[in-house]
């Protein structure tokens, strides 16, 4: 059986995928800037509320713990 993917080829494949994602993200950002697309006030308010309710705590036993407080 022919191997098409090996552990040695994973790093190069991974970097190709990452660079492709960055290129697509950059193209999308440029397109949004051209069209004047921006998030609504409600979306911005929701993000700010979420960020103020989020607490990230680092513990020795489990690492990072994310808490969302209501």
DSSP state of 4: S
Confidence (pLDDT) at 18: 64
Residue 50 lies in a domain: yes
Residue 34 lies in a domain: yes
Domain holding 54, by residue range, is 10-68
Residue 44 lies in a domain: yes
Residue 3 lies in a domain: no
Residue 41 lies in a domain: yes
Confidence (pLDDT) at 9: 59
pLDDT digits (tens, 9 = 90+) for 28-54: 888 878 877 777 899 999 999 999 899
| Residue 14 confidence (pLDDT) above 90 | no
Q: Beta partners for 54?
A: 68
Residue 47 lies in a domain: yes
Confidence (pLDDT) at 28: 81
Residue 25 lies in a domain: yes
Domain count, the chain: 1
Residue 1 lies in a domain: no
Distance CA 33, CA 35 (A): 6
């Amino acid at each position: 059986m022919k191997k098409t993917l090996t552990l040695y080829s994973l790093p190069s494949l991974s970097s190709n995928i990452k660079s492709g994602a960055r290129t697509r993200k950059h193209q999308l950002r440029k397109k949004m800037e051209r069209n004047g697309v921006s998030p609504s006030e409600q979306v911005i308010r929701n993000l700010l509320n979420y960020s103020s309710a989020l607490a990230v705590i680092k513990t020795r036993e489990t690492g990072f713990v994310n808490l969302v407080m209501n």
